[in-house]
Amino acid sequence: MTRLSTQKMEANIVVLGTDNVGKSALTVRFLTRRFIGEYGDIESIYSHNVIVDGREQTLNIWDSPYTQDLSTESSLCEKRVQWADGFVLVYSICDRASFNTVTRLIQTIKTTKDYLGLEKVPIVIVGNKRDLHHRRTVLSEEGRLLALAADCQFYEVSAAENYHSVLMVFHGLVDRIRESRSVMKKPAGIKSIVKSMSAVFARKRTDSL
Ligand SMILES: Nc1nc2c(ncn2[C@@H]2O[C@H](COP(=O)(O)OP(=O)(O)OP(=O)(O)O)[C@@H](O)[C@H]2O)c(=O)[nH]1
Ligand SMILES: [Mg+2]
């Protein structure tokens, strides 16, 4: 029997990306394990309890249809970014423009939130529609390189065909949110600033010799 930790975590997750990339399909797949094909203009914040690494977590997941109001420049987008603790940024592997938007979204998130000094920002990049590989226009390597450059996690999935990889996306994000919270809380941050300042001064002293 697995013992649950009493420490319950709550986290806000926003799913962002251009239209038709599968934001609702991914969200619904995670919540219900099902792929229903057509999702219409669903706009919802779902509350979902999960157990990750023996810990109970409440995830509030915000999925909304893409409109110009949700473009990376808008204040509505900024509001969502402020609300969220973690981000699922979705593009379709068959849609180059949707991949370019993810690059812009990362910049918006990083300039809106203060992630200074945080090694692993709570962002997961998702290349969806992997089953449509014959129509692929974005290589897996491009997604992986973007994630590497931005310190994000990366998955290629098919919401249509596979539940497990979608589960990995959300569990991976929960891990990152937890890590980012513990790093932000740590007073050791001050210690490391002092340490790096002393290193700079020490270097200056030796430089001037
Ligand atoms: N083949 C394939 N089709 C998918 C996949 N995921 C979603 N789709 C289809 O892509 C279309 C758009 O999916 P949605 O989940 O509605 O996309 P969305 O990003 O929520 O779009 P908006 O809400 O309009 O911004 C639907 O017809 C889905 O059935 C996938 O992994 N593979
Ligand atoms: Mg949708």
The length of the chain, given as a count of residues: 209
Indicate the domain borders of the chain. 5-208
70 lines ligand 1 (CB under 6 A): no
Task: Collapse the DSSP code of 45 into the 3-class scheme (helix H, G, I; strand E, B; otherwise coil) and give the result.
Answer: strand
The whole-number pLDDT of residue 117 equals 67
Ligand 1 centroid to residue 178 C-alpha, Å: 29
The whole-number pLDDT of residue 209 equals 41
Ligand 1 centroid to residue 148 C-alpha, Å: 26
Paired residues of 86 in beta bridges = 13
Ligand 1 centroid to residue 26 C-alpha, Å: 8
24 lines ligand 1 (CB under 6 A): yes
131 lines ligand 1 (CB under 6 A): yes
**Cα dist. 197→188, 193, 203, 204 in Å?**
14, 6, 10, 11
Tokens describing residue 15: 């799913």
Task: Collapse the DSSP code of 160 into the 3-class scheme (helix H, G, I; strand E, B; otherwise coil) and give the result.
Answer: coil
Residue 38 identity (one-letter amino acid): E
What phi and psi, each to the nearest 5 degrees, are found at residue 26? -65, -45
The whole-number pLDDT of residue 12 equals 97
The answer to whether the CB of 34 falls within 8 A of the CB of 28 is: yes
158 lines ligand 1 (CB under 6 A): yes
The whole-number pLDDT of residue 1 equals 47
Q: What is the DSSP string of 69-133?
A: GGSTTSHHHHHHHHH-SEEEEEEETT-HHHHHHHHHHHHHHHHHS--TT-SS-SEEEEEE-GGGG
Ligand 1: which atom is nearest the Cα of residue 158? 31
**Cα dist. 15→3, 44, 78 in Å?**
31, 11, 13
pTM for the whole structure: 0.86
Q: Please, what CATH class does the domain formed by 5-208 belong to?
A: alpha beta
Segments of the chain scoring below 70 in pLDDT: 1-7, 116-119, 184-209
38 lines ligand 1 (CB under 6 A): yes
Measured by CA distance, the residue closest to atom 23 of ligand 1 is: 65
**Cα dist. 132→36, 111, 128, 159 in Å?**
17, 33, 9, 11
